[in-house]
């Protein structure tokens, strides 16, 4: 019994829902950090997505695994 992902009942149900017009607000870093610490993390740090992209590209240019 092979069913494609597009035919899966959960995917079909999700696709039938109208698109949400709600725009998410950025999470507060201090709140998120405390949430992670309260959940048992030893330490928490955040980086902007653009910073991570630049770091990844830099590693590729320098010959690291990419």
The predicted structure's pLDDT at residue 66: 59
pLDDT in tens, 7-26: 899 999 988 988 877 777 88
pLDDT of residue 5: 85
pLDDT per residue as tens digits for the range 27-48: 899 999 999 999 999 999 887 7
Question: CA angle at residue 42 from 40 to 47, to 5 degrees?
Answer: 110
Number of H helices, E strands in the chain: 3, 0
Average of per-residue pLDDT values in the chain: 82
Q: Where are the domains positioned within the chain?
A: 26-66
pTM: 0.44
What secondary structure does DSSP assign to 22-40, as a single string?
PPPPPPPHHHHHHHHHHTT
């Amino acid at each position: 019994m092979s069913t494609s992902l597009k035919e899966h009942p959960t995917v079909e149900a999700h696709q039938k829902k109208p698109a949400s017009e709600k725009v998410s607000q950025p999470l507060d870093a201090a709140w998120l950090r405390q949430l992670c610490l309260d959940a048992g993390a030893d330490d928490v740090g955040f980086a902007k997505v653009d910073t991570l992209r630049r770091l990844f590209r830099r590693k590729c240019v320098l010959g690291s695994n990419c």
